[in-house]
Structure 1
Amino acid sequence: MHSETYPRATLVSGETPLTHLPSLSENLGINLFIKRDDVAGSPLGGNKARQLEFYLGAARAQGADTILITGAVQSNFVRTAAYAAASLGMKSVVQLEERVPERDGTYHTSGNVLLLRMLGAEIMHYPEGEDEAGADAALRARAETLRSEGRVPYVIPLGLENPPLGALGYVRAGREIVASGQAFDVVVVASGSGATHAGLLTGLRAAGSTARVIGSCVRRPKAQQEARIRRVLELFSELTEDTRAVAAEDVQIWDGALAPGYGQVGEAASEAMAMMAGREGILLDPVYTAKSFAAVPALCSAGEIAKGARVLFVHTGGLAALFGYQSDLEGGLPVLG
């Protein structure tokens, strides 16, 4: 089957911009472009809108009136799901997992959490942030209660045992990039749950692109993330034959900006935020896009991205989470040289 055969709720109207970044191109000695998926879908946008088109499409096809989803406290996926549900006349139940240690009150009340409350989502809490099976089980238990009350719930799962339906959204994105007529040597994207990374790689290859696709780790170190992407692709092959175009060596991972860990702001991420904001006036978030963009200057410095290469950075959004990191950013960002 192909991605076009699955039910889809339209949350992303039209193509997102793909534009040249002249200042950073000159600074890094490459031809750098950006895919602005930070403006995809809902207000404050983000890559999750593309994924949710297929989850919500499936939910509507099943007659669901309530969606349930789990993620970190400042999860953009959870916030975008609540928005999408509201826009389609559905209720949302969101579960917030404690994945990031020693956060202050701002982290637990502002940013995406504030938006969830404004969107009228039912909020659950889960104490363990690295227990995907347990988090999914808690959602399914809540879904059973809702079902007994006459509701029709649809669970958007997190664990690796589930088919990555949302990855279909990034097959579409990969095809969109190739259809733009722009050819790239390297494409850099955040690699977390794996759906965006695996879907994008699949879409690019299926559309004929030979670009090197680099997933920059935001949650797990390189070895663990590489294994995860391979597993996601294996599961994804059950949904679409497009994965046949992906070779084993196409899975490439970089984790140079992961430290000090998921949802924590390190030096590499701070410098990446300063570079993109100061030279191009584009904001990155500390959880995903700062850590993913950090791969570009680092790989340029290491000679792994050649001078003059055509490079695409996929901006996956997440800007609402900035406000949850106020205490980390109060001193400002590094001063550019």
Structure 2
Amino acid sequence: MNLTYFPRRHYTQGQTPLEKLTRFSQAIGGPNIYIKRDDLLGLTEGGNKTRKLEFLIADALAQGADTLITCGGVQSNHCRLTLAAAVKEGLKCRLVLSEMVPGSYNPQANGNVLLYHLLNVEKVNAVPWGTNLMAEMQNAAAEAIAEGRKPYIIPMGGSNHLGALGYIACAEEIMAQAFAAGLPIHHVVLPDGSAGTHSGLLLGFWGNNCHIPVTGVSVLNPKIVLENRIAELMQQTADYMGVNLKIAPDKIVCVDEYIGPGYTLPTADMVDAVRLLASTEGILLDPTYTGKAMAGLIGLAKQGYFKKNDNVLFLHTGGLPGLYANTPLFTP
């Protein structure tokens, strides 16, 4: 798929590593687990949103925007990276934060909240969980316009047809790395929140005639809601690119057994997965996304979801600052 027609900023030098997790694979009894280190992408503390923002920010700049407006949870990796991109480009940034737990936004908190303020966020509006976030962002945009600004709204997670282009690029990067290493990849597992990463990756594989199965581990929505959103976003992205999309619905696969009591709320399996990867490979996961997704991968492996000799690639989507906002979960 030819991405050269679409404006793009570049926030990462080269490719992110693709590593074999030998000791971790042994600890869970197989299969062969590999990891794509998108936690090492550019901008402040990295993460998958960097790839999406390369295309979104290019569009914002093309439209002459001077203020970015986006939304997310209180400890949002997407908000942190959007703010970092704004700093990089000399733009202002305003955030709408959704409090799953009432009153949970504390400007003195650690993790991403600390980084919002170090990165000099212009304004934060904390709203109750369930608030219409798009309406709140539109209100913020109207306020900015009244001040003589030119705002640009980026949806939650950067998950729209432009953001998905970032993971089409990632699919092509994975294919090139696997070819160079002589490594057949039999399956990809990733965290699924706002669906943009899964949509772009699966579309990228499909568009390059590569049929690696992708399983998303939901951290937010029920399986059916998430799969429908992925299908919708894949279609929107294909239409934007002028591609005739024909992908069977059964190729869009998610599991929702690892969400636990809710988005951002911890589970024992997540804590165990974070500890296991840290103690076997020295790689850190976050409690909201990658920790739950890795718990899902471990659970699927134990259920026989993969063949014992399969090469399974875990997409590390970052989120490390969230670990430091939840230290009591991991301390004795």
Mapped partners of 2:171, 2:101: distance in 1: 31
| Contact 2:102/2:128 (8 A) holds in 1 | no
Q: Partners of 1:153 and 1:104 in 2: how far apart?
A: 24
Equivalence for 1:305? 306
1:235 alignment partner AA: Q
Aligned to 2:3: 3
- Give the conservation status (yes or no) of the 8 Å contact 1:289–1:317: yes
- The answer for unaligned runs of 5 or more in structure 1 is 332-337
| Percentage of matched positions with identical amino acids | 37
Cα distance in 2 for partners of 1:324, 1:117 equals 15
Counterparts of 1:74 and 1:102, CA distance in 2:
13
Give me the whole-angstrom Cα distance separating, in 2, the residues matched to 1:239 and 1:128: 34
1:203 Cα deviation from its structure 2 partner? 1.0
TM superposition shift of 1:149 = 2.0
Relative distance call for 1:125 and 1:234 in structure 2 (3 A) is same
What stretches of structure 2 of length at least 5 have no aligned partner?
Answer: none
2:59 and 2:47 map into 1 onto residues whose CA distance is 20
Matched, 1:217 2:218: yes
> Does 47-56 or 225-234 show the bigger shift?
225-234
The answer for the alignment partner of 1:95 in structure 2 is: 96
Aligned to 1:151: 149
Letter in 2 for 1:152: K
Indicate how the Cα distance of structure 1 residues 40 and 245 shifts in structure 2: closer, same or farther if over 3 A, else same.
farther
Alignment deviations for residues 144-202 of structure 1 (CA, whole Å, 9 cap, x no partner) = 22122221111102399x84321110000001101111321110011110001111111
Tell me how large the CA RMSD over aligned residues is.
2.1
Q: Deviations over 1:199-246 (max 9, x none)?
A: 111112222321110000011122222222222223223222457263
- Is the 1:206–1:243 contact (alpha carbons within 8 Å) kept by the matching residues of 2? no
Is the 8 Å Cα contact of residues 258 and 291 (structure 1) preserved in structure 2? yes
User: CA separation in 1, counterparts of 2:244 and 2:163?
Assistant: 14
Local SS of the residue matching 2:167: helix
Aligned partners of 1:220, 1:151: CA distance in 2, in Å? 35
Q: TM-score, normalised by structure 2?
A: 0.92
Matches within 5 A, 1:25-64: 25-27=25-27, 28-64=29-65
Q: 1:243 to 1:297 in 2, by over 3 A?
A: farther
Aligned length: 327
- How many Å separate the matches in 1 of 2:60 and 2:104? 34
In the superposition, relative to structure 1, how do residues 102 and 275 fare at CA in structure 2: closer, same or farther (>3 Å)?
A: farther
- Alignment check: 8 A CA contact 2:186 2:312 kept: yes
Which residue is equivalent to 1:288? 289
Match of 2:73? 72
Q: Quote the offset at 1:128 in angstroms.
A: 3.0
- The CA distance in 2 between the partners of 1:122 and 1:109, in whole Å, is 17
Deviation at 1:11, TM superposition (A): 1.3
- Structure 2 distance, partners of 1:274, 1:102, is 29
